[in-house]
Amino acid sequence: MFVPKVVYENAPFYWIVLGVLLIVTGTYYGKEGDMVFFFAGIGGGAIACIWGLVVFGRRLSQKSRQPCSTYDDYLRQTCELNLKAHPIHQQAANDEAEQRDAQA
């Protein structure tokens, strides 16, 4: 399913705004009427806010990790190991090139 880039990138903020609106609505209707609205609004709003923060945090952590250039960088856990994009050994790069040539 195609989602425009603007909508996809701002989705965590939409969740947070939805959560705040649910909290405000639940508080307003909870004071005037039934407490079910209060607890449903606060609970749903808290869940929506937490989900928005989780998605935002995961995207932020994925952007900050770059592919490793050496195995030592990977052992220090400062980067993401991606052997296809950056092979550690030249033999691995040669094997991959041979496989691509064989398939073509």
Domain ranges of the chain: 1-64, 66-104
At 96, the pLDDT band (50, 70, 90 cuts) reads low
The four Cα atoms 50, 55, 58, 64 give a dihedral, to 10 degrees, of -120
For the cut 90, the answer to whether the pLDDT of residue 4 exceeds it is no
For the cut 70, the answer to whether the pLDDT of residue 59 exceeds it is yes
Q: What is the pTM of this model?
A: 0.58
At residue 16, the pLDDT reads 95
User: Which residues are CB-contacts of 50 (< 8 A; sequence separation ≥ 6)?
Assistant: 19
> 41 and 27 in contact (C-beta within 8 Å)?
yes
In the chain, the percentage of residues whose pLDDT exceeds 70 is 64
